DNA sequence: TAATTAACCAATCACTTGCTTGCTTAATTA
DNA sequence: TAATTAAGCAAGCAAGTGATTGGTTAATTA
């Protein structure tokens, strides 16, 4: 009952070390191709020790996904909290989401593809966390549609947008010709139509 | 030298049976989670027999990917070969690509994510096959940009479009409220701006 | 008919996997 | 100081893994 006074007793830091290492490896090599030995080695433990902190490999995946999604959702909220204009707001959200995907060491959204490694009950929890992540997007898209900047904000639009963004890790290289800000701008431009000062000729 | 007269000697049909089953299972459960025993069982063979037709599990994946990509590229060419108008052409290509992804029993593009299971040399071959698949897209996008219907056809545009489409298997259900034709239309509308008869009010 | 080959099976090998068990050490608490 | 607990290590198990081997069968060819 009266447990857990201290916010981060030294043990919890090792636990989150494991989570970070696992998330990184799962993204790099995939869930199945990552062994619990890999994860242990990545944090300087022996093969069996992670099982002191987590009951199973699946539990590690689940915790990494939910934790990463919540952290990402928090960054997303912070990035667009006080932006009223829907277009600027969308730009900020796209940029924040790309950041979550591409410049974070634990890109949780990329783990979504590994959900099939989990059981139905766990999948439901993941789905709930992902819904919380998606919610602010629909709000913003609705606002854009209402102001006429977007033709429609029906569900497929949000899903297509997510696809556009979530696929970027397949091809984007941070040492390439495109900064994340430029990429975010390109996305929004593609969605909303013309670039800043161009009018359709025809 | 003078081998292979007959187009499909009875043996080759078993080989392609294996390819089809492997592709389906790889997409369903992932490369690592699919055992060679699963594949053998799916075509009614015993555990060791697939290795008579393929040297390794990796070779099965590689052959399935390249074969699937070539077949998909062919369908793509057939779908848009004689369409001159760039917008109609894009719509046809999007529809064909969605077909390749969502209504084909061997959705090769979905296997692209499993490329990391292959060695560098094999990956290069896959990349070449994928380039052949991508080429007609860039041509069409350039035509759309030239006619002013698209703000830009720079490389990120093609990649973002592919993301939009390639992510659909994550959420699209063929028994859902959206037909593939409607989805294709929604994609094109999102890319090119207004729906058929709507003018921006503002 | 005899020789050859394609296609497959049965058995098994060498290895890896997730996970468990029993023990040790260091810190915390009484 | 004594008792307890958190944290981890060393070793290994049982189940599975991709792949190999040697043989069998039916069809094809000479």
Taking CB atoms and an 8 Å cut-off, how many pairs form between chains A and B? 103
Cross-chain residue pair A168–B159, CB shorter than 8 Å = yes
Q: Is A161 exposed, middle or buried (0-12, 13-18, 19+ CB in 10 A)?
A: buried
Q: What is the pLDDT of residue B14?
A: 85
- Cα separation, B186 vs A78, whole angstroms: 31
Q: What is the pLDDT of residue A168?
A: 94
Q: What is the pLDDT of residue B106?
A: 67
> Per-residue confidence at A195, pLDDT binned at 50, 70, 90?
low
Q: Hey, where are the domains in chain A?
A: 61-192
**A79-101 average pLDDT score:** 95
- Cα separation, B67 vs B20, whole angstroms: 10
**Residues in A touching B193 (Cβ below 8 Å):** 151, 193
Query: Which nucleotide lies nearest residue A44, CA to C1'?
Result: D8
* Chain mean pLDDT for chain A: 87
Kindly compute the dihedral angle of the four CA atoms of residues A92, A93, A96, A101, in this order, to the nearest 10 degrees. Answer: -140
pLDDT tens for each residue of B141-172: 999 999 999 999 999 999 999 999 999 988 99
Cross-chain residue pair A160–B164, CB shorter than 8 Å = yes
* Dihedral over Cα of B21, B27, B31, B32: its sign: negative
A147 touching B (Cβ < 8 Å): yes
**Residues in A touching B152 (Cβ below 8 Å):** 186, 189, 195
Q: What is the pLDDT of residue B197?
A: 40
The string of DSSP letters for B144-193 reads HHHTTSSS---HHHHHHHHHHHHTGGGT--TTSS--HHHHHHHHHHHHH-
202 residues of chain B, pLDDT tens digit each:
323 223 334 456 788 899 999 999 998 899 999 999 999 999 988 888 999 999 999 999 999 999 999 999 999 999 999 999 999 999 999 999 999 999 877 677 778 889 989 999 999 999 999 999 999 999 999 999 999 999 999 999 999 999 999 999 889 999 999 999 999 999 999 999 765 443 444 3
- Residue B197 distance to chain A (closest CA, Å): 11
- Cα separation, A44 vs A22, whole angstroms: 13
On the question of pLDDT at A202 being above 80, the answer is no
The residue with tokens 């991508």 is B134
Q: What is the pLDDT of residue B5?
A: 27
B199 touching A (Cβ < 8 Å): no
**A88-101 average pLDDT score:** 96
Indicate which of A149, A159, A184 best probes the interface with B, i.e. most B CBs within 10 Å of its own CB.
A159
* Dihedral over Cα of B200, B187, B136, B121: its sign: positive
- Cα separation, B194 vs A148, whole angstroms: 10
Partner residue facing B193 (CB), from A112, A193, A201: A193
Q: Which CATH class is domain B58-192?
A: mainly alpha
Partner residue facing A190 (CB), from B29, B189, B191: B191
Q: Is B58 exposed, middle or buried (0-12, 13-18, 19+ CB in 10 A)?
A: middle
**Residues in A touching B117 (Cβ below 8 Å):** 33
- Cα separation, A156 vs A74, whole angstroms: 24
Say how far A31 CA is from C15 C1', in Å. Answer: 20
B163 touching A (Cβ < 8 Å): yes
- Cα separation, B21 vs B17, whole angstroms: 6
CB A72 within 8 A of CB A162: no
Say how far B68 CA is from D24 C1', in Å. Answer: 35
Q: What is the pLDDT of residue B195?
A: 52
CB B197 within 8 A of CB A197: no
The residue with tokens 């989570």 is A19
Indicate which of A26, A28, A115, A151 best probes the interface with B, i.e. most B CBs within 10 Å of its own CB.
A151
- Residue B69 distance to chain A (closest CA, Å): 17
B120 touching A (Cβ < 8 Å): no
On the question of pLDDT at A75 being above 70, the answer is yes
Residue B113 per-residue DSSP state: G
Indicate which of A167, A179, A196 best probes the interface with B, i.e. most B CBs within 10 Å of its own CB.
A167
**Domain A61-192 CATH assignment equals 2.60.40.60:** no
- Cα separation, A97 vs A106, whole angstroms: 13
Q: What is the pLDDT of residue A111?
A: 86
pLDDT tens for each residue of B92-112: 999 999 999 998 776 777 788
Higher pLDDT, A37 or A8: A37
């Amino acid at each position: 009952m009266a447990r857990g006074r201290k916010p981060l007793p030294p043990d919890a830091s090792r636990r989150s070390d494991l989570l970070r290492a696992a998330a990184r490896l799962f993204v790099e090599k995939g869930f199945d191709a990552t062994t619990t030995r890999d994860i242990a080695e990545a944090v300087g433990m022996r093969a069996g020790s992670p099982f002191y902190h987590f009951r199973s490999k699946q539990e590690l995946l689940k915790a990494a996904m939910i934790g990463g999604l919540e952290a990402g959702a928090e960054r997303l909220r912070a990035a667009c909290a006080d932006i009223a204009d829907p277009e600027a707001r969308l730009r900020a959200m796209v940029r924040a989401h790309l950041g979550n995907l591409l410049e974070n060491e634990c890109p949780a959204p990329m783990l979504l593809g590994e959900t099939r490694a989990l059981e139905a009950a766990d999948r439901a929890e993941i789905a709930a966390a992902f819904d919380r992540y998606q919610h602010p997007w629909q709000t913003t898209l609705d606002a854009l549609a209402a102001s006429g900047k977007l033709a429609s904000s029906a569900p497929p639009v949000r899903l297509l947008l997510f696809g556009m963004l979530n696929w970027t890790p397949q091809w984007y290289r941070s040492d390439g010709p495109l900064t994340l800000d430029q990429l975010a701008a390109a996305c929004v431009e593609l969605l909303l139509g013309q670039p800043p000062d161009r009018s359709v000729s025809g």
